[in-house]
Structure formats: C-alpha cells, structure tokens
Structure 1
C-alpha cells in the first residue's frame, strides 16, 4: 500500500474502536499523523499504544463530542503538535434499539445530542481551523439507516438522515474555504456494536442472505472509502454520500426458479 497520506494530519473521532479504529489503521498504513478522539479512555490508551508501537505518529484525547470546550481543546492540541488539520473523520456515535412508543425524552435527546449535535460540534471546530489554512477534507460516518430504516430505530435513523442533510448544507458553506465534506453510509459492518446481529446464530445467517455480495462488511471497507474521500483523487467531490453496504439496500433479489412466478413462463 502506498503512503499517499504521508505527512497529513488526520483527526478521527471515535478512533479507538470499531469503524473509527479501522480508519485509523488504514491511515496509519498510508503514513498519516493521527489524533484519535474517543470517550472510552481505556480503549483510547490501547489504540494509541498499539499504533505508536508500530512507529505511527499518533496522539489521543478522551473527548465527549457533545462537550464543545473538550473538542476545541483537542483541535488546539492537534494544531500545537502539527500546525494543521488536513482531514477529519467524524465516526463517533451511539445506537439504541427501542420501539417508538417506548422512546423516552432522555433517550431521544441522548441520541440526538451525540449523533447529530456532537458531529456538528466536531465539524465546526475542525472546519474553523481548516478554513484558516484554506484547505481540508471531512468525512462523516452516517448509516444506511438514513434512507433504509429499520423498526425500533426512529431516534437513531432520524439522526442519520439529519447527518446527510447536514453534510449537503455544510458542503455549500465550506466550499468557499477550500474544504470538502462528504458522508459514508455503512451497512452492516462487523464491530462490537453490530455483534448482536452478526454473531446471532439465527438472525445473522438470515440477514446475510439479504446481502448481494454475500458477506458482512469490515471496518477496512469503510476505511478504504474514507481514504478515497479525503484524498486528492476525490478533489472534485463534495456534499455526497457514499453507500458501502454490499448492495443490501439496492432492492430485493428474488430467489426463484425460472417460470415459478405467476404469469412467467420459460418461453416468454
């Protein structure tokens, strides 16, 4: 793998676990300098130790992304260390499965605060630094739930749909400053959070049959998309949402033998 991000400074929120850590490992392999933000202090320490032990230039901040002063401090520290921020990957978020009639005000606010408001804070704080430099690239990790919803995810899906609208509007505001912003809609990616489905002995195989490419996604799949979106190869791309889901949201692939559907014969 070439070091096409050599020397670039990449800030990754949610960078100590799951998709975020997969992104961190990809950018590390491409020669980037990394600032990892995560609310899980133990996971953050482990991620920083692993990457630095491999010779990666990396630092970390324990950050609740809904805490603007903490996000601002992390941005300031990144600038103190490396004088710039070339890219932001906003991967931090939370999920909860709960029927609409059972969602409490507290649950609604928590999901909105982290997934939507927290991402807004991250993007705004990093973009202010990028605007001073006149360049930058931002990738927001949304979800196929933005448009392909599931039961018992009304609050979560609302935030992911909101992120897509936010990215499109932000792209218009940030373009004059030389900043691009795009989103990625992951499908079912094998992480700790998705294990309730991917590792379920009954539901897992049943869902897997719905994925045209026949496998679960991996954090490395999302990392590859993020690597493209922040690279110069995507220099004319902004305000878009790239869906990485193995084809599951394309439609329904009917598993029938020829001629089995009513009105369909083999000689038509």
Structure 2
C-alpha cells in the first residue's frame, strides 16, 4: 500500500483495503523455513506475493519449502512471490551477520527456530540449559541485531518471532523452554520500544499445540496426544498451516499499528486454562 493510499494517521483509505494482506514487492526472510511453522509461513507469504528467502541449516528441507511455495495458487489477478533458499546456522553469529548483508533490503523477518529439552528442573544440566537458550533466545537476539538497523534506516519493517503459550502457562518438565519463550516475548517488546520511532515493528506469535517435528515426542504417544487435544477449547491440535495466517497478518499492512504484541493462536487453551470441563 502506498503512502498516497493512507490518511495522515496511517489508517488505510477505503480504496486500499482490497490489498491489505498483499505483500507484492516485499522481501521477507523466514529463518527456520525448512519445516513446520516456518515452511507453512513461507508458503503463505509467497502466496500473498512476497519474495521469500527461506533460511535453514537443512538444505533439503529448505528446497522442499521452496518447491511447495512455488506451487501456491495466488488470488485472481495476483501473483506468487519468488522463493530462494539460503543455508544458515543461526548459532553462528558471524554467519548470521554475513547472510543478512548478502540478503540486502528486507521488509520482513520471520524467525521460527526453536528447541526443547523436557526434563524436571532437578534433572536439567548446564548443557541442556545452554542448548535451549541458545536457539530459543540468543539466535533471535543475533538476528534482530543484524536486521533491525537496516530496517530502521529505511523507516519500515516487521519482525515476527515464534513464542509459545508456554510463555504464559506452564507444566512440569517445561521450565527452561517456558522461560526462554517468555524471555523472547520481552525481547521483542523491548525491540518494539527501541525501534518503534523508526517505523520498525516487532511482534510474537504464541501457538498452542501444533504438529511439527518439535512436538513429535509427545504427539507420538496416543495418551499424551489425546490429553493435549482435549485441553483446548477447540479440543484438537493445530496444523502448522493454521499459524501461517497470523504470521502473514503481522508482516502485512493489515497490522501497521500492531507492535510489541503477542498474538496467541492456541485454540483457546489459555482461555480455558487447559482444564477439563466438568458437567455441573
């Protein structure tokens, strides 16, 4: 949407609503786009016209994402954005900074990388702690530091990080994972405060239970799978594609006044507190 299509307050003019979610001409990097929520986000962004850079350390996974994204059918009269793949280890700070320099101008950054070690606190090791924090928090810090200054110079940009409902509601065995996801929310909120005056937005998406490679450990257990399904208001798991809409919204002009926020996409789990509904 062009500046001419906006009122002085930044609100879309009536003629601009038809393209509110379109991303034509935008360049968006999806880090962790080789599988799961990252893959589906890349597909959705491309379907809305964005040029998508799929970054992952899994070359085959990234290539499959690019293949699937190229098959997306755009809206009538629109086009699907170009997709490219880029090998990236987010734990290598120098590699991240070099990659970002090579990518050039970005309008959006979506980060979906994550790890979990499910253990009781008494059983957690320093190595376990470092593994989870490195991927769930330090990698996000490195990427924000690399991308945000360039966005600020251009006066625009949207960064979306994948948090979790565990940032707000926990269970035994989720201590460090939950802490890292809560920390990510506060990191993005602080970034929103620091770069907001320059026109750069930062938001988090907090999914509930989603079928991805990260959740295979519990989803493969029928009893556990069923218990988690029944804990939300919708009483089912989400597919990774059901998170892609939230990501697309936060990257698009539909959310130009949204920053420092958390969009919870959990099927109502946190609304009903994950509890059984008694017959009273």
Q: TM-score, normalization: structure 1?
A: 0.89
Kindly state the Cα deviation for residue 152 of structure 1 after the two structures are TM-superposed: 1.1
Counterpart of 1:264 in structure 2 is none
Cα displacement string for residues 177-200 of structure 1 (whole angstroms, at most 9, x for unaligned residues): 110101011100111221233342
Moved more, 210-219 or 112-121: 210-219
Q: What CA distance in whole angstroms lies between the structure 1 residues aligned with 2:133 and 2:269?
A: 26
- SS state of the match for residue 164, structure 1? helix
Counterpart of 2:194 in structure 1 is 173
Cα displacement string for residues 14-65 of structure 1 (whole angstroms, at most 9, x for unaligned residues): 0110010010010111111011111222212332344356675122222111
Counterpart of 1:17 in structure 2 is 35
Counterpart of 2:277 in structure 1 is 255
- State how 1:158-237 maps to structure 2 within 5 Å: 158-237=179-258
- SS state of the match for residue 271, structure 2? coil
Counterpart of 1:69 in structure 2 is 94
Which of 129, 133, 138 is matched with 2:150 structurally? 129
Q: Extract unaligned runs of 5+ from structure 2.
A: 1-17, 73-79
| Aligned: 1:8 with 2:26 | yes
Q: Extract unaligned runs of 5+ from structure 1.
A: 259-268
| Aligned: 1:92 with 2:113 | yes
Report runs of 4+ in structure 1 exceeding 6 Å deviation: none
Counterpart of 1:266 in structure 2 is none
Cα displacement string for residues 196-246 of structure 1 (whole angstroms, at most 9, x for unaligned residues): 333422221222111111221122221101111111111111101111100
Counterpart of 1:245 in structure 2 is 266
Counterpart of 2:82 in structure 1 is 57
Aligned partners of 2:36 and 2:212 also within 8 Å = yes
Taking a change above 3 Å as real, the CA distance of residues 256 and 150 of structure 1, as seen in their structure-2 partners, is closer
Count of aligned residue pairs for this structure pair: 254
- SS state of the match for residue 122, structure 1? helix
CA RMSD of aligned residues (A): 1.9
Answer with 1 or 2: which has the greater Rg: 1
- SS state of the match for residue 149, structure 2? helix
Which of 102, 111, 128 is matched with 2:123 structurally? 102
Cα displacement string for residues 118-159 of structure 1 (whole angstroms, at most 9, x for unaligned residues): 001111211122112111011111011111112112111111
Moved more, 119-128 or 1-10: 1-10
Q: What CA distance in whole angstroms lies between the structure 1 residues aligned with 2:71 and 2:255?
A: 31
Q: What CA distance in whole angstroms lies between the structure 1 residues aligned with 2:31 and 2:23?
A: 18
Moved more, 244-253 or 44-53: 44-53
Kindly state the Cα deviation for residue 95 of structure 1 after the two structures are TM-superposed: 1.3
Aligned partners of 1:140 and 1:182 also within 8 Å = yes
Q: What CA distance in whole angstroms lies between the structure 2 residues aligned with 1:134 and 1:121?
A: 20
Q: TM-score, normalization: structure 2?
A: 0.85
Counterpart of 2:76 in structure 1 is none
